[in-house]
Structure 1
Amino acid sequence: MRQAIAALAFGWSLSACATVPPAEPEWELVWSDEFDMADIDRTKWDFDIDCWGGANDERQCYTDHARNARIEDGVLVIEAHEEETTGPAIPIHRRKPGVKVPVDTKPYTSARMVTRGKAAWQYGKIEVRAQLPQGQGTWPAIWMMPEHDAYGLWALSGEIDVMEAVNLGVPCEGCPGGKENTILGTLHFGGEPPENALKGDEVPYPPVLSGYHVFGLEWSAERMVWTVDGKPFAIRTASEWYSDAAPGNRLAPFDQPFHLILNLAVGGRLPEGRGLGGFDPGDYPKRMKVDWVRIWQCAADPATGSACER
């Protein structure tokens, strides 16, 4: 089944377009940002500000500076720059009261925008229309984390990666067209490291190398379907995930509200261990551009979302 989906993804890649698909009658829009204001709407978004490196040896500090995230002509621009910055070495959600926060210095800056504390969802359809940067070491991502760690620390409470892409456009002998053009959709679950587990799919999608594309996830209690430009490229069911903290709950950990994250990481173990290997410091700044974000709920079955499953 999954191989067929991957083959289909490649088969329709030449005809796929980046136009916004019409809303299906069964889906109700419950949250959106069209980025049509002069500035980022701080009632909808917050910023992670740290030089943690995501526990992945990433090379950036995240800031809330307009240089790293801003609205331009109705589009959100998340921009990574080569510039040395010092900041907290521990992210805000891992800091302990009364414990001094160490600092670190990184050679790049970027932005990680979050809806944490402002909006979170349990089941629904998440869609983001975005244009992705290219180059060895680039790592744009659209993903979700639990609003509350109901089952414990990562990965007991789960992580949903709607879309990740690394090293887009670099030479790749095994890729259609000879350039890296794959997109990934992944779940993280299980226990705390080293007992964490993941399930993911990676498919070639050559159109991702130019223009905007709609990256999506249709999430119900029993099933998740990853899409690009409205077409499915991966499916996971509840039989494939679990939380060590809730062995009797077959839906855990993905039965809780999750908030949305948009970010552009610089380097890190995943991109630097793939593609050409290492990190290419040339051609900065790099830009991830987001046209809109839309969150839908299954109007007929908001409690589980099952009535809107494909």
Structure 2
Amino acid sequence: MRGINRNIWKQSLRIVLSASVILSAGSLFGACQAEEDGYRTGAKVSDAYVNPDAAGEIAKEDLKAVGYQYDYDNLSYDLVWSDEFDYEGLPESTKWDYDTGGSGWGNNELQYYTSDQNAYVTEGNLVIEARKEEYEGKGYTSARLVTRGKGDWQYGKIEVRAKLPAGCGTWPAIWMLPTDWEYGAWPSSGEIDIMEHVGYNQNNIHASIHTQSYYHKINTQKTSTKVVDGASEDFHIYSIEWLPDKILAYIDGEQYFSFEPSKLKKSPTYKEWPFDKRMHLLLNIAVGGDWGGAKGIDDAVFPVQMLVDYVRVYQSKEISALVK
């Protein structure tokens, strides 16, 4: 701890346990109308994300969940990664990659994610466009951009200014997944949903986390919802502050979600807090699926777009020094 402000650090806890993996899928369709309750099913089944060898037991020495408690009053943040989209053409290849395919993505989604046909940069915005069109056996196309391998972080502030699509059956998201999946397949290694929106609840914005102990299949998912009038008519800033012992979510600077496992369990382990490992950012529009399509799909709304003005990532030197 030499050379570090000791007021920042109070204690750390390391617990070693084994892991198990739970995946789920399902489907539901009906008439398009608002409902108050919903959830992301979230099992991201794809070659990019689920390593079959990671399922089941993992060597105990590889499963080390670390929880910290800090005094955050004097933290400072520096910009470490950004895309202002102040250019024309395809998204910058040094910052973004694509997840492609039409596997349903563990949520029974109906779109095929293309590599570069459904995402482009123009007039200062990244445009992600979902279309009603036949492609590779699917009835819709869209794009899912990822920073994996080009932007991976442990802790920080992630801020995205975006304008969301409207229409029943649309399911845009700004979210994070683990880069290394050190605690096993979903949900054991965690997921952070910075922003989710489903078109049949037009003014509801959701923030969530998923872990082995907290996810919808066992009725323990941690989610908050905020009503934003005209959510698809204006740009809004969706952000999280990801700290070593808690995650906070904001819309336009107003906090509406907090996840702090030490308040839920005396000695949290990786099952409650897998968020001590690198994660990367995803931006996408899904079509239909278990949640997004729960009230049907209005094909008349397509094509729809999510516009992203900027993505900015900040990190604290004080926290980075402590967790190296």
Shorter-chain TM band: 0.7 to 0.9
The answer as to whether partners of 2:176 and 2:280 remain within 8 angstroms in 1 is yes
Distance between the aligned counterparts of 1:107 and 1:158, measured in 2?
Answer: 30
**C-alpha RMSD over aligned residues:** 2.5
Q: Per-residue deviation at 1:52?
A: 1.3
4+ residue runs over 2 A deviation: 191-198, 238-242, 246-252, 299-305
1:150 equivalenced with 2:182 (yes/no): yes
Distance between the aligned counterparts of 1:223 and 1:279, measured in 2?
Answer: 36
Choose which of 111, 115, 129 in structure 2 pairs with 1:79: 129
Q: Per-residue deviation at 1:72?
A: 1.0
| Cα deviations by residue, 1:280-303 (Å, 9 ceiling, x for unpaired) | 111210000000000000233225
1:265 equivalenced with 2:315 (yes/no): no
Q: Per-residue deviation at 1:251?
A: 6.7
The answer as to whether partners of 2:211 and 2:271 remain within 8 angstroms in 1 is no
1:294 equivalenced with 2:317 (yes/no): no
Identity %: 43
| Cα deviations by residue, 1:242-297 (Å, 9 ceiling, x for unpaired) | 9xxx9745773111010000001111110222xxx211111210000000000000
- Secondary structure in 2 matching 1:293: strand
User: Structure 2: where are the runs of 5+ without partners?
Assistant: 1-73
Distance between the aligned counterparts of 1:106 and 1:52, measured in 2?
Answer: 10
- TM-score normalised according to structure 2 size: 0.71
1:199 equivalenced with 2:222 (yes/no): yes
| Bigger mean CA deviation after superposition, 193-202 or 114-123 | 193-202
Q: Per-residue deviation at 1:60?
A: 0.3
Choose which of 91, 106, 110 in structure 2 pairs with 1:55: 106
Match for residue 244 of structure 2? 221
- Secondary structure in 2 matching 1:53: coil
- Secondary structure in 2 matching 1:239: helix
User: Structure 1: where are the runs of 5+ without partners?
Assistant: 1-23, 87-104, 173-179, 306-310
- Secondary structure in 1 matching 2:221: strand
Distance between the aligned counterparts of 1:33 and 1:226, measured in 2?
Answer: 21
| Cα deviations by residue, 1:36-63 (Å, 9 ceiling, x for unpaired) | 1223100100001110122111110000
Match for residue 69 of structure 2? none
Distance between the aligned counterparts of 1:27 and 1:150, measured in 2?
Answer: 27
Distance between the aligned counterparts of 2:139 and 2:127, measured in 1?
Answer: 20
Q: Per-residue deviation at 1:190?
A: 0.6
Matching of residues 177-192 of structure 1 within 5 Å: 180-190=202-212
The answer as to whether partners of 1:155 and 1:193 remain within 8 angstroms in 2 is no
Change (3 A) 1:303 1:139: farther
1:34 equivalenced with 2:87 (yes/no): no
Task: Figure out how many residues of one structure are paired with residues of the other and give that number.
Answer: 247
Change (3 A) 1:239 1:250: farther
- Letter of the 1:153 counterpart: A
- TM-score normalised according to structure 1 size: 0.74
